DNA sequence: GTTTTATTACCGACCGTTCGATAAATTACT
DNA sequence: AGTAATTTATCGAACGGTCGGTAATAAAAC
């Protein structure tokens, strides 16, 4: 290897940053190479199926993070539901970098992305709803109300991310996370 | 003119459809030409500054619609505030085609769009908030609560549009509009 | 010395954009 | 009114540049 070669973590994090901020079509191979610390052709060595495989890897990488730091936390039997919810929300704040990073589900739901990732996006969103439904039930909400709350939670997260990016102020995202917490715990 | 030449309405509606569904970078001149009924070169006759000018025209066109059918309605002194709000929400449903069409503010807030349209997106969102703040005050909310409601209204609209597109079911959008109405009127 | 990884050079396709020619609509002149 | 002159609108073809993707080669690692 020439200078100091790309750690896998640097590669995946670079790809993630580009896909999240520019979407699928907006992310050029040049961008992806620059952000990952590899040359274009080297990326093709690691991801022989090209751009789509890179985006898949990012999707999977984020899904793993969410699985561990949100979904699993939400059903960790060692903790009280109220605590689980709070930790999960804190981790969501990390996931979206306090509102500065866009959700990959949204980033890929524009333009060409919806054709390539439609099913994965749909499944991903359904999982979010499902997990928040469960924590709602565990917090003694009726299944109906738990469903309402779960949907609203997703809407709040996605909507506040849109507003935060559009207006350029992370206060909206912060406040929204607190509101979600309040809705469940008060 | 040769066959039956492109009505301006067909042109702007076609461009709108493409930019909203594909974003700025995702919208190719080929797409835009096909959707507008004009050839690429003809588009450049109408929009000498190219793609950016086309997107500007779409932005302006939608802003006009919103101004007339949402903002102006919300402060139409001939109607009671409750009625104005309801009509505005109905028109919002039309604007977003019942949840099937993405908001241009969101479509352009990804990727390259945010560099080109950042200021316009920010101003557009602020106007939405401002107008909903006012109707809240007219409905006898305190300025603080009116601000909360306005922000939440925007979050609800944007968030439900994201979910609706991701999950592929317009129920979420419909329900959200009803919830907004309820929040103000109950 | 073979295999794995990285890099340079390159490919055809498509990108946004422009040019030049032509047809249609409008204006000017009689 | 009729016709010539001018402007406006449309389009095919092509531009340079970048796109995603690929060989061929060099370097590292084993």
Tens-place pLDDT, residues B62-81: 999 999 999 999 999 999 99
Interface of A with B (CB under 8 A): 21-23, 25-27, 102, 105-107, 109-112, 114, 118, 121-122, 124-126, 151, 154-160, 162-163, 165-168, 172, 175-176
Domain that holds residue B119: 59-185
Q: What is the mean pLDDT of chain A?
A: 92
pLDDT at B5: 34
Confidence (pLDDT) at B3: 33
- In angstroms, the CA B61 to CA B39 distance is 21
pLDDT for B111: 73
According to DSSP, residue A144 is labeled: H
The ipTM (two decimal places) reads 0.89
Query: Do the domain assignments include residue A47?
Result: no
Domain for residue A3, yes or no? no
d(CA B16, CA B40): 16
Instruction: List pLDDT tens digits, range A120-156.
Output: 999 999 999 999 999 999 999 999 999 999 999 999 9
A81: left (phi over 0), alpha (psi -120 to 50) or beta: alpha
Checking if the pLDDT of A117 tops 60, the result is: yes
Which of strand C's nucleotides are less than 7 A from any protein C-beta? 5-10, 14-20, 23-25
Confirm if A162 and B110 have CB atoms less than 8 A apart.
no
Tell me if B176 is assigned to some domain.
yes
Q: What is the mean pLDDT of residues A59-77?
A: 96
Flag whether A90 is in a domain: yes
The length of chain A in residues reads 186
Predicted confidence (pLDDT) at residue A2 exceeds the cutoff of 80: no
Could you read off the pLDDT of A24-66 as tens digits, one per residue? 999 999 999 999 998 998 899 899 999 999 999 999 999 999 9
Q: Is the pLDDT of residue A6 over 60?
A: no
Return the pLDDT at B115.
86
Specify if A52 maps to a domain. no
Residues in chain A within 8 Å Cβ distance of B21: 110-111
How much of chain A exceeds pLDDT 90, in percent? 85
- B175 neighbourhood in chain A, CB within 8 Å: 151
- Cβ distance B22 to A102 less than 8 Å, yes or no, reads no
Report the domain count for chain B.
1
Other C-beta atoms lying within 10 Å of the C-beta of residue B29: 16
Question: The domain that contains B173 carries what CATH number?
Answer: 1.10.357.10
Contact check, Cβ <8 Å, A111/B176: no
Q: What does each C-alpha distance from A35 to A6, A138, B136 come to in angstroms? A: 11, 42, 45
Whether residue A89 lies inside any domain: the answer is yes
pLDDT the model gives residue B49: 94
Q: Tell me how close the Cα of B15 comes to any Cα of chain A, in angstroms.
A: 14
Tell me if B172 is assigned to some domain: yes
Residue numbers of chain B with a pLDDT score lower than 70: 1-7
Q: A25-39 b/e with 16+ CB inside 10 Å = b? A: bbbeeebbbebbbbe
Residues of chain A with C-beta less than 8 angstroms from the C-beta of B111:
21-23, 25-27
pLDDT, position B112: 76
Q: Is the CB of B45 under 7 A from strand D?
A: yes
Buried/exposed code over B50-89 (b: 16+ C-beta within 10 A; e: otherwise): ebeebbebbbebbbeebeebbbebbeeeeeebeebbbbbb
Question: What is the pLDDT at residue B7?
Answer: 52
Per cent of chain A over pLDDT 70 is 96
| Ramachandran assignment for B32, one of left (phi > 0), alpha (psi -120 to 50 degrees), beta (any other) | alpha
Binary contact (A162, B107; C-beta < 8 A):
no
How far is Cα B84 from Cα B78, in angstroms, rounded to an integer?
A: 9
DSSP letter for B70, please. Answer: I
- Does B162 fall in a domain? yes
Question: What tokens does B89 get?
Answer: 């929400």
């Amino acid at each position: 290897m020439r200078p100091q070669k790309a750690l896998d973590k640097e590669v995946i994090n670079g790809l993630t940053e580009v896909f999240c901020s520019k979407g699928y079509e907006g992310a050029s191979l040049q961008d992806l190479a620059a952000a990952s610390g590899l040359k274009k052709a080297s990326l093709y060595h690691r991801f022989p199926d090209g751009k789509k495989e890179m985006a898949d890897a990012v999707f999977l990488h984020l899904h793993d993070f969410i699985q561990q730091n949100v979904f699993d936390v939400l059903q960790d039997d060692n903790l009280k539901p109220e605590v689980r919810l709070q930790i999960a929300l804190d981790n969501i704040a990390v996931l979206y970098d306090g509102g500065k990073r866009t959700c990959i589900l949204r980033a890929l739901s524009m333009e060409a992305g919806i054709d390539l990732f439609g099913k994965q996006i749909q499944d991903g969103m359904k999982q979010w709803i499902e997990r928040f439904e469960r924590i709602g039930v565990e917090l003694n909400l009726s299944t109906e109300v738990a469903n309402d709350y779960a949907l609203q939670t997703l809407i709040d997260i996605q909507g506040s991310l849109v507003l935060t990016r559009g207006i350029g102020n992370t206060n909206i995202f912060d406040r929204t996370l607190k509101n979600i917490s309040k809705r469940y715990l008060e």
